[in-house]
Amino acid sequence: MKIKEEQLKKINEQQEAIAALLSKIGYLETQKHGYLHEMVSINQSVDMFKKELEEEYGSVNIDLNTGEYTVIAESDSEKPKLEAVKDV
């Protein structure tokens, strides 16, 4: 016994569509992976440059439109620290 020819054709078309989409998703995931590595590299570069600027100017906020900066007061730069608390 067999299913109808048009039913078999429809099943095969659906399976081919699924396989094509899975292939495209795999390709996109590969691209995403590459972009994430690129982002890590750029973030490392940003962090290194921030350190260079901090060595030269101290702790400052920089206006990215004008290049003007304002010194961050010590009390502004101190942020509360989170601490892990053990349940007793």
pLDDT in tens, 21-56: 999 999 999 999 999 999 999 999 999 999 999 999
Asked if residue 32 belongs to a domain, the reply is: yes
Asked if residue 63 belongs to a domain, the reply is: yes
Asked if residue 27 belongs to a domain, the reply is: yes
- Check whether 88 has a pLDDT greater than 60: no
Q: Which residues neighbour 58 within 8 Å (Cβ) at sequence distance 6 or greater?
A: 71
- Least-confidence region, from 6-10, 18-22, 69-73: 69-73
Asked if residue 83 belongs to a domain, the reply is: no
Asked if residue 88 belongs to a domain, the reply is: no
- Check whether 6 has a pLDDT greater than 70: yes
DSSP state string for 28-83 = HHHHHHHHHHHHHHHHHHHHHHHHHHHHHH-SEEE-TTT--EEEPPHHHH--PPP-
Asked if residue 39 belongs to a domain, the reply is: yes
pTM of the prediction? 0.63
Asked if residue 84 belongs to a domain, the reply is: no
The boundaries of the domain holding residue 45 are 5-77
Number of compact structural domains in the chain:
1
- Check whether 2 has a pLDDT greater than 80: yes
- 26 vs 83, more confident: 26
Asked if residue 85 belongs to a domain, the reply is: no
The pLDDT of residue 74 is 78
User: How far is residue 55 from each of residues 47, 73, 77, measured CA to CA in Å?
Assistant: 12, 16, 16
